[in-house]
Chains A and B, each alone.
Chain A
Amino acid sequence: MDRYLTVDRGACAGHGLCYGAAPEIVDCDDQGDPIILVEPVPEALLGQAEHVVDICPERALALQESLQASPSA
């Protein structure tokens, strides 16, 4: 099953820990906000994706089965 990394833009505060930790999955734009590079996340990078979900200080990242916004967002 495909897994997608999503950012809750309302929660993200641009700490940048995600793209610091997993540059293959997340990059950043000019403002320092995250950009997800891989959709869906390839099998080989799933471990890293789970890691960035875990480290985000704002709990703004999630691994989901589709790109639909999560109900809480």
Chain B
Amino acid sequence: MPTTRADVRPDLVVDFDIYDPALTMPVDRMQERTAELAKVGPIVWSPAYAGHWLVTAYDEVHEILRDPATFSSYPNNLVDAGQGKFLPIELDPPEHTSYRQALQPLFNPTRMRALEPRIRELVVELIEKFQGAGKVEFVEQFAHELPTTVFLALMGWPLEDAPMFTEATEIAMNGKPGDTPEQAVASRTEAAMQMFGYFMQVIHARRAAAEAGEELDDITTAVMHTRIKDAEGVERDLTDDELARMFFLLLIAGLHTVQGTLCWMMLHLSTNTDQRDAVIADADAIPAAVEEVLRYEAQVAMGRRAVRDVEIGGVTIKADDQLLLLLCSANRDDSQFADPQSLRVDRTPNRHLSFGSGPHRCIGSHLARVELRIAMEEIHKRIPDYRSDPEDPAVVLPSQVRGFARLPLLFTPVTPS
């Protein structure tokens, strides 16, 4: 029998729903709210979504991420919108392993470093488009454009399709603005189906091209050639359905996350100007500064499900209980980080969990780091005095991947050279 509210010590029951818009609107209070939960305990209970455990402390989050035999990755979402599993994020080892090994080389550090010149060109081009204006809606003109363009080039998908799947992905994750909870489930499912339809078209077009001898050299082709080992150890091709689930995950995992971190970089460095000065003064400080921005605002809260009864963090978790791991509060756990509420760009060591840990640790981290580092370098060379627009505040959305809808910024205009 999974845990019900009656089984939980009353002082550990909290009122928290990660999808509640009031958490981030009108002002983002996610960190404040999760810090309160962390004070209640390393693992607390929310009655939302038929009940789930919220893991707030660094050690417990780390332990759970590294123990897939006890904590399954399926389901990873509290609200099912995928109509089945996302691959490979909702598979457990050993099944997960061969998918992982197929994907990892495509995004490995050496390949991602080789993209640096192209990414830099794109970053400069994007900044030059708005640097003369003295203001910018940073999400639309930069934070969204950069990861989307880089990702589409890697995948070999048409740039014109971006607006369609940006919208569909957003709805698939968060529902439509103003949806009731029931409507949100329906909108999310519908948007997910639209995306699957799109991927099926991509797959069919690719197969037709391959037959005509016109195969492209990109990640889509590489993924389509992936051979995986099934549970019996037999090698086989991926089915179209599996391919679509993998592409959808790459899209969800790779765009919104980089977008959010870019926005937090701007928001927090603009209010911690001494930290920003350190970045402006010394470009060598940037890699560590990127890690600190990542630590300061972990946006992901992944789900896990206990496969057996287990004692952890002072509570008994029962088989089939759902857990939500709050990376944002783990990353501000003072048993792991000195002065965790301060942004310190030279923090070292910085063992943040923003990319997760264990077998599902983010495959795209090397790509994300290159994008974030180059953006930080070029922005601080060009428009170093940016600040948020007091008349037009940022809009942050909650959910298991928290992110920005808008971030209007002001700065001293610079004539493009």
Residues of A that sit less than 8 Å from B by CB: 13-17, 19-21, 28, 30-32, 54-58
Contact = CB atoms under 8 A, between A and B. Distances in A.
Residue from the set B66, B105, B109, B365 with the largest chain A CB neighbour count within 10 Å? B109
Contacts of B361: 13-15
B196 to A, nearest CB: 29
Contacts of B66: 13
A55 B109 contact: no
B98 interface: no
Contacts of A30: 104-105, 108
19 contacts: A13-B66, A13-B361, A16-B366, A19-B109, A20-B369, A28-B110, A30-B105, A31-B104, A31-B105, A32-B107, A32-B108, A32-B366, A54-B348, A55-B349, A55-B350, A55-B351, A57-B352, A57-B353, A57-B357
Contacts of B357: 13, 15, 57-58
Interface residues of B, number: 24
Main secondary structure of the interface of B (DSSP, over half): helix
Main secondary structure of the interface of A (DSSP, over half): loop
A68 to B, nearest CB: 24
Nearest to A54: B349
A32 B351 contact: no
A22 B57 CA distance: 30
Nearest to A55: B349
A66 B355 CA distance: 32
Contacts of B359: 13
B287 interface: yes
Contact of B351 (A19, A21, A57): A57
B108 A15 contact: no
B104 A32 contact: yes
Contacts of B291: 17
Nearest to B353: A57
A4 to B, nearest CB: 21
B366 A31 contact: no
B101 interface: yes
A20 B288 CA distance: 11
Contacts of B47: none
A48 B244 CA distance: 43
Interface in B259-298: 287, 291
Interface string B136-154: 0000000000000000000
A17 B354 CA distance: 13
B358 interface: yes
Contact of B108 (A17, A21, A28, A55): A28
A13 B358 contact: yes
Contacts of A55: 348-351
Interface string B82-122: 00000000000000000001001101111000000000000
A-B interface, 7 closest residue pairs, ranked by CB to CB distance from nearest:
A57-B351, A55-B349, A30-B105, A13-B361, A31-B104, A32-B108, A54-B349
Nearest to A11: B66
Interface string B197-217: 000000000000000000000
